Structure 1
Amino acid sequence: MIGALSGAALYATLDTSSLESWGWRVPFLLGLLIAPVGLYIRRHLDETLEARAHDTQPLTELFASHKSKIERGVLSIVASTVGMYLVAFFMPTFLVRVLHLPTSLSLMAGCVSGATMMVMCLVSGLLADRMRARKPMALASIALTTLLIYPAIALMTTHPGVPLAP
């Protein structure tokens, strides 16, 4: 969301030649502002404990003992990440390059998508804290994303415009 906001601000304030020559670097320079936070955290973290002598092959033991749990965990992360990348990163490019909508609209769509995801993460986290069985909620989210992404793209393709942008 911050990336889309900075892109929208630059797009609104700079002309095309300035944006292409030097303006695109500004968000990367702003990203350097997080470096002191990382350095502070790194300096104040305790060092990890030394590995015990009997843990000679911890990864081998981990995969041998928990292979199915690791596979399920990876698949659940992949499933949710694919939907997020489609909406947050692919969709703005799709709006501009395929549907020929203005860049400002695609950047604002990215802002709306980011804000929506942020709010929904909080809401779903609160719901998950109150539910005993969290798996149905996670599976429903993955199923809805899988079922709705193609119709959403098809609808935007047939009726491009502001109301259908994510």
Structure 2
Amino acid sequence: MAAVFPGRMSADIEGDFVVFLIGMRFNKPWKIHQWWGALTAMPRMLRTLAQRPELGLLAVEYAITPRGPLTIQYWRSVEQLEAFAKDAALPHRPAWHAFNKAVGGNGDVGIWHETYLVAAGRYEVLYANMPPFGLARAGEHVPMARKGDTAAARRGASAT
């Protein structure tokens, strides 16, 4: 288990980065045969990305919501994220093809993603009594004093 850092910490990452949220919704949870393939495809993709850091994935966090799984991914660039998605030699494209063939638009399973491009320094992070998490795993876990005592200071906004 990761060590907890007592007190307040922040995160720092150099340059622009991407936050990519991707999840699945079990619209008809009893139809396991419809969602099992998509559910098991994500761990294969993430293993490939962990083994090949040059593809651009910096860190990933996992969550289970009441209707399905969610991953929060941190990428170096949107170009690397899109290259991974489009490359037929990597696991995303075959998984996407299989999902469309098996599920398509029948409504049994939903999948979704949101992509956020974050400009350098245009973010704010606070962790209290936490191990490195999220952006602190993608970048650097730093003492709060290094980033500022207020949310505005941490995101680089001028005090008014």
| TM-score, length of structure 2 as denominator length | 0.27
Query: Which is richer in strand?
Result: 2
Higher CA-based Rg: 1
| TM-score, length of structure 1 as denominator length | 0.27
Query: Which is richer in helix?
Result: 1
